Amino acid sequence: MKPTILLGTAQIPNDGGELRLTQRDDVFNIQLVGVHGELMSSRMSSSEVALSELGCAHLQGVENAKVLVGGLGMGFTLAAALKATSSSSQVVVAELVPEVVEWNKGALGECAGRPLDDQRTEVYLGDVAELFMSRQATFDAILLDVDNGPEAFTHDDNSELYSMASLQAIREMLHPNGVLAVWSAWHDPRFTKRLKKAGFSTSFKTVRAHKGKGSKHTIYLAKKS
Ligand SMILES: C[S@@+](CC[C@H](N)C(=O)[O-])C[C@H]1O[C@@H](n2cnc3c(N)ncnc32)[C@H](O)[C@@H]1O
């Protein structure tokens, strides 16, 4: 069996813990130290891709669409957002941890086909929540996968992101008919209720982690009507 190689470590801002990037054979893993299981594996990307496919379905053939992806990770959601939108689109990806961006510029970037090299990609280095402060309609789709989902947090600061105040701010950041899509490891009807209260019309889809197999994940879809 091939050994696991440690490729890099990174501190999450605000004492959020340590991320570790490892590689075994051609599989990459990102782990949060002290938390059971991996945060991400390059073996499983179907639900990360589905987040973009579902969240950008309304943007097919739309010129100059603007999309925000919250959390770069291994770049699968970003790559799928670029694929799902036209050549005149712009996709901003917000990433909290600078090393994650650097890892994607290196060997890890191959996993999703190097979406950072696409000229439509713009990187915002920092907390995605900072982008919601202007409350100006800017995006046609906002795709969030910064954690395990609204119900479980690996990074404490992210609980605020899914609060009522934040959801209302996110709604204001969307153009009319814009869509907020949120990846989650579980389904929680309470989050759907909160989205409705924040003024969205909502639905959700259950998707599998890997090519129709593996864990079931939830994609919440919230439309600004
Ligand atoms: C589960 S991964 C995202 C996986 C991604 N969907 C993909 O396709 O590979 C979560 C990412 O969000 C980043 N992150 C966590 N909290 C964040 C925040 N508040 N703002 C921006 N990025 C954040 C993490 O550093 C990590 O890179």
Ligand 1 atom closest to Cα of residue 157: 19
Ligand 1 atom closest to Cα of residue 19: 25
For the Cβ of 181 lying below 6 angstroms from any atom of ligand 1, the answer is no
Ligand 1 atom closest to Cα of residue 40: 1
Ligand 1 atom closest to Cα of residue 49: 8
For the Cβ of 46 lying below 6 angstroms from any atom of ligand 1, the answer is no
Taking only the tens place, the pLDDT of each residue in 71-88 is 999 999 999 999 999 999
- How far apart CA 29 and CA 55 sit, in angstroms, is 25
pLDDT at 61: 94
Q: How far is ligand 1, taken at its centre, from the CA of residue 70, in Å?
A: 6
Residue 172: which residues within 8 A CB-CB, separation 6 or more?
Answer: 135, 136, 137
pLDDT at 156: 67
pLDDT at 36: 66
Q: How far is ligand 1, taken at its centre, from the CA of residue 48, in Å?
A: 11
Taking only the tens place, the pLDDT of each residue in 129-147 is 999 999 999 999 999 999 8
**Among candidates 39, 74, 9, 22, which has minimal Cα distance to 153?**
39
Q: From the centroid of its chain, how far is CA 163?
A: 17
Q: Go through the domains of the chain in sequence order and give each one's CATH number.
A: 44-224 (3.40.50.150)
For the Cβ of 72 lying below 6 angstroms from any atom of ligand 1, the answer is yes
b/e sequence 174-191, b meaning 16+ C-beta within 10 Å? beeebbbbbbbbebbeeb
- How far apart CA 153 and CA 148 sit, in angstroms, is 6
Strands (E), 60-212: 66-70, 90-95, 121-125, 139-144, 174-184, 200-210
pLDDT at 208: 93
Residue 1: which residues within 8 A CB-CB, separation 6 or more?
Answer: none
Residues of the chain with confidence (pLDDT) below 70: 36-37, 152-156
pLDDT at 157: 74
